[in-house]
Chains A and B, each alone.
Chain A
């Protein structure tokens, strides 16, 4: 099999991993090739609009596991391939020299057993770091069930090591990935977190969960995420909309991946990490799923209308963050600018702060953008839905109407 054929098969097998970040390290070039870029660099964007920063490949797709949702599961009849460590190193260097990529993202199916696979990954990365003197970004996936010694060894060579949680609940994992063990996955996360320092996984760890493969609600999903952020200090949790690649009676039959739901989860995830909100602020047992029509922050604001409108020139940083359409960057800009002048709606525009959302929730110097009498919950909700990109695109050229039943 030629290198190209292998590359196609093994990139195809790796593409469902969402993570492709290359940020957070300042690794120096030690006389060979490559260095880290703290902000991360995107080198290209694939046709699905996701960034390509790393050479994202599997070491092999020959797997002894039979996870129901996975394209590489044992019982699938697909083309199988395996790289040699040398091949991976050479492709990486070839691509890196030409500035196609920022580094390597190496994952693998489990071949023979976990330790053997882990050994192969270590061999590859060691070769790349020592013989090819590569100092660029490396992200590896830890193999579930590998021994601690090997995980520690690999962690000292790479910038990021992560292990996928796959499903938020232990029952879900047991149902769809019976050979994986929730406790052992979390044990690896714990191990990485305990050992993290500037020579061991300096860019931290991340994980991924599949959205819509099992029946868990958004509430359970977010609960799990926030617990993992707290316990293992993850840099990111990635959510990947379930794409139906296998037929199985245990799997839902979805025509299209639930991209909208995935999007809402990402939005909520940002609210947890940067806005100081708790899962309980957004969802609860009686209200376990996000509204697909508007984002979680608008949803929150509409349920707390008594807090609004907020005065831009007076509100505290945390209060500013609660306004839909204003994030940490905008809030900081507002705080630092209003010492020097009174901010008007005009100024917000000049400062690059969009008021498309915010206009229903703010006052500038006591003035409201919309007639204050109109600022009722239903009015705002309707307008926000009508202004959203999806609706305006669907209805392009058609008179907008709130009531479609009569047609």
Chain B
């Protein structure tokens, strides 16, 4: 592999990222880094190259044919994660995947493979947790609205889960960190990016139901077995902010207001 001293910038999409990978693999290059264009903080030392996809070829299909579904899922997971240098990690993972194919999953002694699989695992685990921790509130017109602030960008997987589950509802999932909305209506999910916050009106009935849930939550815990540490390790504090049953604890311990 040839060393080169460039930082490659890409426009934020999975296709564009794969195009850079493709470009680098063809020329057998080792970049200094690969960074999302809008996240890049310029400095004087490192030269940058901004690459934009020029061919009509579908990169996803190309690499799906060259590797496998399972490998592409890992690369997609990494793309959606918030890990540092995730592009570089997934680039090396892809290179190794082309070489080792399916057996890549057993080669955890390779640093990049190990890191890549750990990131992918983290994204999937968070998706699974969020399926449980997401809380909808009923707002105007019986629309269900849920806020969340996960570490990774997991809204696409979540939306698919609720599409099947809450078929006959209209619902909105709002990723507060990334300002992405997933809106579901009549069997279709629409994703949109919007910085403005919507105006939410909560009904009295909604408050009653939330109260009912809190009462249940209190009643179902066994006093004699209290184990807050265990509770916290399964349900880390970072998720408490939008959990209705933890509201009282939030007021006591956390200064969420200062964060936002």
Contacts and interface: CB of A to CB of B under 8 A. Distances in A.
Contact of B234 (A11, A49, A55): A49
Interface of B: 103, 105-109, 111, 114, 118, 128, 131-138, 144, 146, 162, 164-169, 209, 211-213, 215-231, 233-235, 243-245
Given A45-B234, A259-B225, A350-B109, A99 B136 contact: yes
A42 interface: yes
A91 interface: yes
A44 B132 contact: yes
Given A34-B165, A98-B138, A91 B212 contact: yes
Contacts of B228: 47, 49
A241 B227 CA distance: 14
A351 B224 CA distance: 38
Given A33-B166, A43-B132, A98-B136, 18 more contacts: A7-B219, A8-B216, A8-B218, A11-B216, A12-B219, A15-B221, A41-B132, A48-B227, A52-B220, A91-B212, A98-B213, A99-B162, A256-B224, A337-B106, A346-B109, A350-B114, A351-B108, A352-B118
23 contacts: A7-B212, A15-B220, A16-B222, A31-B167, A33-B169, A34-B165, A44-B132, A44-B235, A46-B220, A47-B231, A48-B226, A49-B228, A56-B220, A91-B212, A94-B212, A97-B144, A98-B138, A102-B132, A257-B224, A337-B106, A339-B106, A341-B107, A347-B109
Contacts, number: 153
A211 B118 CA distance: 39
Interface in A307-346: 333, 336-337, 339-341, 343, 346
Contacts of B109: 337, 341, 343, 346-347, 350
A4 to B, nearest CB: 6
B109 to A, nearest CB: 5
A84 interface: no
Nearest to A94: B209
Contacts of B225: 48-50, 241, 243, 257, 259
A35 interface: yes
A352 B118 CA distance: 9
Nearest to A47: B221
A43 B221 contact: no
Interface of A: 3-4, 7-8, 11-12, 14-16, 29, 31-35, 37, 39, 41-53, 55-56, 91, 94-95, 97-100, 102, 241, 243, 256-257, 259, 333, 336-337, 339-341, 343, 346-347, 350-352
B50 to A, nearest CB: 35
Contact of A100 (B135, B168, B227): B135
Nearest to B219: A11
B212 A337 contact: no
Contacts of A339: 106
A337 B216 contact: no
Contacts of B106: 333, 336-337, 339-340
A97 B212 contact: no
A51 B223 CA distance: 15
Contacts of A56: 220
Interface centre among A35, A39, A46 (most CB of B within 10 A): A46
Contacts of A241: 225
A98 B164 contact: no
Contacts of A31: 167-168
A35 B165 contact: yes
Nearest to B210: A98
Contact of A4 (B105, B146, B215, B229): B215
B164 A35 contact: yes
Nearest to B245: A44
B29 to A, nearest CB: 27
Nearest to B111: A350
Contacts of B218: 8
B96 to A, nearest CB: 12
Contacts of B168: 31-33
A107 to B, nearest CB: 13
- What are the 10 A-B residue pairs with the smallest beta carbon separation, nearest first? A49-B230, A46-B221, A11-B219, A49-B227, A48-B225, A47-B221, A43-B132, A98-B136, A45-B235, A41-B132
Nearest to B100: A340
B167 A51 contact: no
Contacts of B144: 97-98
